[in-house]
Structure 1
Amino acid sequence: MGDQKEKEKVLSGLLVAGVICIAANLRPAITSVGPVIGTIRHSLHMSNAQAGFITTLPLLAFALISPLAPKLASRIGQELTLLLGIVILFIGILARTAGNAAMLYIGTAFIGTGIAIGNVLLPSLIKHRVPAKLGLMTSIYTTVMGGFAALASGVSVPIVNGLGLGWKWGLLFWGIFSILAALVWLPQLREHAKVKFSTHQETPGRSVWLSSLAWQVTLFLGLQSFLFYSTIAWLAEIMVSHGASLVAAGWMVSIMQFVSLPATFMTPIWAERMKNQIPLVFGITIFYLCGLTGLLYGGHMLWMWICIILIGIAQGASISLALAFIGLRSKTATEAANLSGMSQSAGYLVAAAGPFLIGWLYDRAHNWHMPVVVMIICGILMLAAGAGAGRNKYVSK
């Protein structure tokens, strides 16, 4: 009896470690690009719109792959599918170091595919394997995800310029974490045959694609991702336009993400304890709109730092709330997987427009006024979607 309990503790610890390692890989391959996007643009002679597409491409991959990930998981198991995602991610990181635009785009598409698998399956894996700790596990993995996203933004310029590695080797650095994640995840393959998983509904009912609540969850996730990836891609350039150096701007993007971590961790825990999450949605939107309005008008660098902190807190809270909605609005792991696939497919299709659209608007206007106005409008739309998604209901009703 004691040996069995000890074994369960070890397996549980390995599962948590594996989830943490996978989560650590779900953002750095993308967020490491933003601070050095100017260097890449000049090296490959790209326009702002073309450079923005580097950040847009993974989101398109998210949109295309997200509905397929649960189907693949139902055939070969969630655990094996997640390992496959890590391998694809590493191949993408390796491919984009070829040093030409075509391979940069191809590698980035692979990166988006690998990350999409992790994005979709981690929420349903947690709902399936540790349903009693949904809020805590969501907090842990989203915080790790945000922490490594911040780290990648902060050290990207020092790795590329400070160590003299150049942007290709600087971006390849993040492949180390993919290898580590694959090794740590291997023990879960012993368990995947024992853990049955299906994307078919346990009880007859309408598809999540026909649920208005599911669409509200989807739009909330999509709009917050539009804002997240737009700021990750272009905030450094916006800060440079306000007088910051490139290195300082890179650290601003990083610190924006570091200050998001407490909100990232606490939001799912608060959300799980609340009758509904509408007050959280309102609070997040207020922080976002205040921060973005500050970027619109500029001013003293101290004021810019305050705006960045407000945006960071809103980002951290919104991404973890969006992912928490997947579990909170679902009755079962199957429903969570289907909602996750839908929300991250259609949602990231909305998000995919962000970096490209913001870059395109700047190319036309030659200033950041209109791009930031568009982000403010997205914040208002996010409030409307979140007010619906925050209601205490299930998508199956």
Structure 2
Amino acid sequence: MTSSRPDFPTEQAAASAEVVSSHHSLHAPLEDYPVPGGEPPTPAEVGEPTERPRGKWALLILGIGLILLGLNLRIGVASIGPVLGDIRVSLGLSATSASLLTTIPVFAFGAFAFLTPGLTRRFGMHRLLGLTMAVLAAGILLRLHPSLLALFAGTVLVGVAIAVGNVVMPAAIKQDFVHRSGLMMGLYSAALFVGAAIASGLTAPLLTVMGGSWRPALAVWVIPALLALVVWIPQLRRRPGRMKTGAGVADAPSDRGEPSFRSILTDPTALAVTGLMGLQSVSYYTALTWVPTILQDAGMGGGLAGGMLAYSAFPGILASLVTPAVAARMRPRWLPVVISAALIGAAYLGLAVLPAGGAIVWMTLLGLGQGAAISLSLTFIVWRSPTAHRTGHLSTMSQGIGYLLAGLGPVGVGAIHAATGTWTVPMIVLGVLLVVQLVAGVFASRPVHIRAE
């Protein structure tokens, strides 16, 4: 799940007490500046004046637009799972081939995380966000075409659009709502879960309304993308200030005096955060892809199976919102990681032993565990980085590499199920990966920063 949570000053304050730099003592807080990157530009560096301050109504429209954008950043992927069985039957796909429909976007999340900074410098954040909605709508509509190539091409476009949105959204919120960043991050993270829940819960019922055809049932989800694009039109006309030192727009992070991205690739803490991000994403996207099928194979109806997956988002929302605040105060520091892993492990065990009979319990546990794990992995990106520039580096590394790793989960589980004819063995494999996730999370929970050289 893509990629931001509210600010949690308690942990950050503790970290600042441990690592105090001259940068922090010489400059005002980063939030006071419209240009992320650690310090403001000098007057000689500014090539064009930034836009005029916006009024109350303009800010309200901007905030609504951001939330609608966030709502769309999971719908295109979450809507596939409930009708994956129908797609397999309709097109004669194997389980492994069908799982590509949910893993292709996840691979795109990783690959395009590394390209998004360049796109931001090229178009600017707000115009790029509008472009992502247009590409997302095109990808969803392309899946209406009655060909296998169009289905997979549309899926690629959906993945590319969401990948870019994942990276750009937190920066846009940072710039436009400096004094409301905590509130907006909370609303944005909730929108991600709500979008996934709506798509998971309504796609199967839409299948019945559409006469049993999965293509129009998926195409319906172009409506919220187009709505977000329409609300976002005022932002497309904005002219952000530019820097004389390059073609980048003013809202692109500055890298003056900062170490390179390559410098953190072998850092143990960065590797631990990346491992946690990747493995919890494996768990999340594997569940998103296969849980409805697991429940249907156990005798549950398709609509109810999709509803169970949608329901798991609600405890996930609760856990994702409260976990970082609790983790900032809990001792020992690794305890929240252990609790989240234990909840997910219990859900795996239930799905392996009694999937349909205890579905409501397993989905509650899974939602709580995954919500906590996602929230921790995103929050550690902030807590383990001493500066905003290195936060960007760690975010790119953990989400880029992490999502590439996560893309292997649904494909691998589908292949194991096809080979064994049972869901027990895939659940065991996921349990083993959960142990590795636990180890990575314990290391990531240590109160140290990534290297500052």
| TM-score in terms of structure 1 length | 0.91
How far, CA to CA, are the matches of 1:12 and 1:389 in structure 2?
36
Residue 79 (1) aligns with residue 126 (2):
yes
Q: Which runs of 5+ in 2 are unaligned?
A: 1-51, 242-248
Compared CA separation, residues 321 and 133, structure 1 to 2 (3 A): farther
Deviations 1:309-357 (A, max 9, x none): 1001112222233233333333444433333222221101110001111
Residue 62 of structure 2: aligned partner: 15
How far, CA to CA, are the matches of 2:415 and 2:313 in structure 1?
25
Residue 69 (1) aligns with residue 116 (2):
yes
User: Which of residues 380, 390, 394 in structure 1 aligns to 2:435?
Assistant: 380
Compared CA separation, residues 229 and 190, structure 1 to 2 (3 A): same
Compared CA separation, residues 181 and 273, structure 1 to 2 (3 A): farther
Higher share of residues assigned helix: 1
Residue 47 of structure 1: aligned partner: 94
User: Which of residues 191, 202, 208 in structure 1 aligns to 2:256?
Assistant: 202
Deviations 1:1-58 (A, max 9, x none): xxxx994544443332222111100111111110110001111110101101111111
Deviations 1:233-280 (A, max 9, x none): 110111122221222211111112233221123234445677996332
Cα-Cα RMSD: 2.5
How far, CA to CA, are the matches of 2:90 and 2:97 in structure 1?
13
Preserved contact between residue 146 and residue 316 of structure 1 (Cα < 8 Å): no
Residue 217 (1) aligns with residue 264 (2):
no
What count of residue pairs does the alignment treat as equivalent? 393
Residue 351 of structure 1: aligned partner: 406
How far, CA to CA, are the matches of 1:270 and 1:45 in structure 2?
48
1:290-369 matches, cutoff 5 A: 290-298=346-354, 301=357, 303-369=358-424
Preserved contact between residue 61 and residue 112 of structure 1 (Cα < 8 Å): yes
How far, CA to CA, are the matches of 1:28 and 1:333 in structure 2?
30
| TM-score in terms of structure 2 length | 0.80
Compared CA separation, residues 220 and 115, structure 1 to 2 (3 A): same
Q: CA deviation at 1:135?
A: 4.2
Q: CA deviation at 1:131?
A: 5.1
Compared CA separation, residues 327 and 134, structure 1 to 2 (3 A): farther
User: Which of residues 187, 191, 200 in structure 2 aligns to 1:144?
Assistant: 191
Q: State which drifts further: 75-84 or 181-190.
A: 181-190
Q: Residue type matched to 1:335 in 2?
A: R
How far, CA to CA, are the matches of 2:328 and 2:74 in structure 1?
25
Residue 236 (1) aligns with residue 292 (2):
yes
Residue 143 of structure 2: aligned partner: 96
Q: Residue type matched to 2:120 in 1?
A: A
How far, CA to CA, are the matches of 2:272 and 2:403 in structure 1?
14
How far, CA to CA, are the matches of 1:275 and 1:76 in structure 2?
44
Q: State which drifts further: 69-78 or 189-198.
A: 189-198
Q: State which drifts further: 337-346 or 223-232.
A: 337-346
Q: Residue type matched to 2:438 in 1?
A: L
Residue 107 of structure 1: aligned partner: 154
Preserved contact between residue 52 and residue 233 of structure 1 (Cα < 8 Å): yes
How far, CA to CA, are the matches of 1:22 and 1:191 in structure 2?
17
Report % sequence identity.
33
How far, CA to CA, are the matches of 2:62 and 2:379 in structure 1?
19
Compared CA separation, residues 344 and 279, structure 1 to 2 (3 A): same
Preserved contact between residue 240 and residue 251 of structure 2 (Cα < 8 Å): no
Q: Residue type matched to 1:77 in 2?
A: G
Residue 310 of structure 2: aligned partner: 254
How far, CA to CA, are the matches of 2:232 and 2:433 in structure 1?
37
How far, CA to CA, are the matches of 2:179 and 2:318 in structure 1?
22
Residue 154 of structure 1: aligned partner: 201
How far, CA to CA, are the matches of 1:324 and 1:290 in structure 2?
24
How far, CA to CA, are the matches of 1:98 and 1:330 in structure 2?
46
Compared CA separation, residues 384 and 277, structure 1 to 2 (3 A): same
Preserved contact between residue 90 and residue 179 of structure 1 (Cα < 8 Å): yes
Compared CA separation, residues 186 and 218, structure 1 to 2 (3 A): farther
Residue 394 of structure 1: aligned partner: 449
